[in-house]
Amino acid sequence: MNERQEIKRLVNLTKLLAVLLLVLIIVEFMSCERSARAAIITGEKPLAGASYYMQKLIEKDGEIFNHEDRDLLAEVMYHENYCNGYEVMLYTGSVVLNRVKHKWFPDTIKGVLYQKGQYATTHKFFTKEIPAEVYDIALHLLLCGSQAPDNVIFQSTHKEFGHGVWKCIKGEYFNYE
């Protein structure tokens, strides 16, 4: 085997090892994320390292959201609008995220949800088991951001809030500031 063939063989071997390493990292990441998700839903302690992966998983534009943020977002979406389906829950969560960034509201998810006079359902949190798909929607929002325009900061069954309706779905209004 000449020198050129040996170099080519080493390059191919290096590529193969890199791919295998990447696969191992992905499998480990998915295992930790799945463990953390299951632990959050069941209330059990996740595997060592799982909370680290979950925290890193929910990083968006330099902001780090932890599992408590995801849980709170899932809980408000579930208790406010689970009966109205995916789209309404998605926009309910989007309004919460828009409020976090808006000057009129607290700058955390917890602050927005527990602000006096807001989200009456917060006293019902942790009373029912929340389906996994609701946690997935919350995670999607934390990773991808609000799915509503930034100035949509009101969500209600009353049309009067804010300065105009952005969308109305199943009697739930999403209104501009």
Number of H helices, E strands in the chain: 6, 5
CA distance 60 to 141: 10
Say whether both 83 and 163 belong to one domain.
yes
pTM attached to this predicted model: 0.64
Say whether both 23 and 53 belong to one domain.
yes
- Tens-digit pLDDT string for the chain (177 aa): 688 888 888 888 888 877 776 666 665 555 555 544 444 444 444 434 444 444 444 555 556 667 788 888 888 898 888 878 888 888 999 999 999 989 999 888 889 988 888 877 766 655 568 888 888 888 888 877 888 888 888 888 877 776 788 888 888 888 888
| Number of domains comprising the chain | 2
Say whether both 166 and 106 belong to one domain.
yes
CA distance 52 to 40: 14
The one-character DSSP state at 90 is H
Locate the DSSP E strands across the chain. 59-60, 63-64, 152-156, 165-169, 172-176
Say whether both 125 and 96 belong to one domain.
yes
CA distance 65 to 79: 21
